[in-house]
Structure 1
Amino acid sequence: MPQQALLVMDVQQVVVDRFPDAEYLPRLGKAIDAARSAGVPVVYAVVGFRPGYPEVSARNKMFRGLVGAVARPAGDDRATQVHPDVAPAPGEPVVTKRRVSAFAGSDLDMLLRAGGIDHLVLTGIATSGVVLSTLRQAADLDFELTVLSDGCLDSDPEVHRVLTEKVFPMQAEVTTVDAWAAAL
């Protein structure tokens, strides 16, 4: 039987503040609670950079605009801290990524493989960012994948719908927090 891990990605305070949805964090919290109760590891991924942003190239259109705005240096707790409503429990790993995918510039792959994880359950902000990029890379790394459609959030509801209804099902099972939690 595959060993699952719930990935909670880019749910940092500064990111959540940019995506107002009063129902999102309680729903995500339900998935986290269900995972913990079922013994499914919960792994967090946050985006962060060293002081001075040496990882950010002037050629990187997305990240060069974030320098000093949203993605502050890793030492700035406000930027890299997971929102307190869904914060990691003691001992739950938090990996720092340097790009959109949770695998890019982090030790996530090593951590998962060392733990015997071969099935990832994806959640996070944004559906068109970290979830899409991580799904694509995880599929190429031969992980089994599940996406919790209501455990993801995007600023564009139509983009979210197209991804969760048309794109993600080609590489992942797509379900809801409630359905996934009930199946554990």
Structure 2
Amino acid sequence: MAHSALLVMDVQRAITDRFTVDAGYLSRVRDAIDAARAADIPVVHVVIGFRAGHPEVSPRNKTFGALARGGGFAAGDPGAQIHPDVAPAPGDVVVTKKRVSAFAGSDLDMVLRARGVDSLVLTGIATSGVVLSTLRQAADLDFGLTVLADGCLDSDPEVHRVLTGKVFPRQADVVTVKEWVTSIAH
């Protein structure tokens, strides 16, 4: 029997503020979190975070180089906080990553293996960023994968559609939050 964990990735204030978050997005993610807790499935929040001055960011990195110049996601940055609608509860693990994938520069794999987790349920912002990168790396690490399609968000709806409809199903089960919640409630 699979031992799953729900990953809630990059649902941080500065990220949700940059996206057009549909009215139901955060409540759907909250529903997934509540269902996971009720089913004793660990909830792991994955955040992007850097040290003051961003010493871990290369100026050659297009994505994070610009972020470092702006000072974002360093200690004390209010934008780095997890959105309060999906905030961690006591017992939830918060993992800090240094790149796009939830595994890059973090201790996520160690946390999951220590808990006997062999299957991941993915949610997060953005579908074409953290979700895609984490899915690919998790598949290479032999985790079973489920993506909650409406628990992911992307600035480009067409990219989201292609990834969740055509790319992700090659390596993961792709379902809605409601379908997943129903499946674990039994």
TM-score interval for Structure 1 and Structure 2 normalised by the shorter chain: over 0.9
CA distance in 1, matches of 2:71, 2:122: 22
Query: What is the alpha-carbon distance in structure 1 between the residues aligned to residue 71 and residue 163 of structure 2?
Result: 24
Instruction: Note if contact 1:125-1:154 (Cα within 8 Å) is conserved in structure 2.
Output: yes
TM-score by length of 1: 0.97
Could you give the per-residue CA deviations for residues 28-60 of structure 1, whole angstroms, max 9, x where no partner exists?
111111101111100000001011101110111
Which 5+ residue runs of structure 1 have no aligned equivalent?
none
Superposed CA deviations along residues 108-163 of structure 1, whole A, max 9, x for unmatched, are 00000000000000000000000000000000000000000000000000000000
Distance 1:36 1:70, change over 3 A: farther
Instruction: Provide the C-alpha distance between the structure 1 equivalents of 2:171 and 2:78, rounded to a whole number of angstroms.
Output: 34
Q: How far apart are the structure 1 equivalents of 2:11 and 2:165?
A: 22
Segments of 4+ moved more than 6 angstroms: none
RMSD: 1.0
Q: Could you say which residue in structure 1 is the equivalent of 2:94?
A: 94
- Structure 1 residue 83 displacement after superposition: 0.3
Task: Tell me the secondary structure at the aligned position of residue 174 of structure 2.
Answer: strand
Deviation at 1:70, TM superposition (A): 7.1
Which residue number corresponds to residue 19 of structure 2?
19
CA–CA separation in structure 2 for the residues paired with 1:8 and 1:118: 17
CA distance in 1, matches of 2:174, 2:35: 17
> 1:91 deviation in Å?
2.0
Are residues 1:144 and 2:150 paired? Answer: no
- Stretches of structure 2 that go unaligned for 5 or more consecutive residues are none
> Aligned equivalents of 2:19 and 2:178: distance in 1?
22
Q: Alignment partner of 1:66: what SS? A: helix
Change (3 A) 1:70 1:19: farther
Does structure 1 residue 78 correspond to structure 2 residue 78? yes
Residue identity opposite 1:99 in structure 2: R
Q: Does the residue aligned with 1:65 lie in a helix, a strand or coil?
A: helix
Task: Quote the Cα distance in structure 2 between the aligned partners of 1:155 and 1:87.
Answer: 22
- Over residues 91-119 of structure 1, what are the superposed CA-to-partner deviations in whole Å (9 max), with x where a residue is unaligned? 21100000000000000000000000000
Matched, 1:117 2:117: yes
CA distance in 2, matches of 1:25, 1:13: 12
1:39-78 aligned within 5 A: 39-69=40-70, 71-73=72-74, 75-78=75-78
Aligned sequence identity (%): 68
Displacement after TM superposition at 1:77 (Å): 4.5
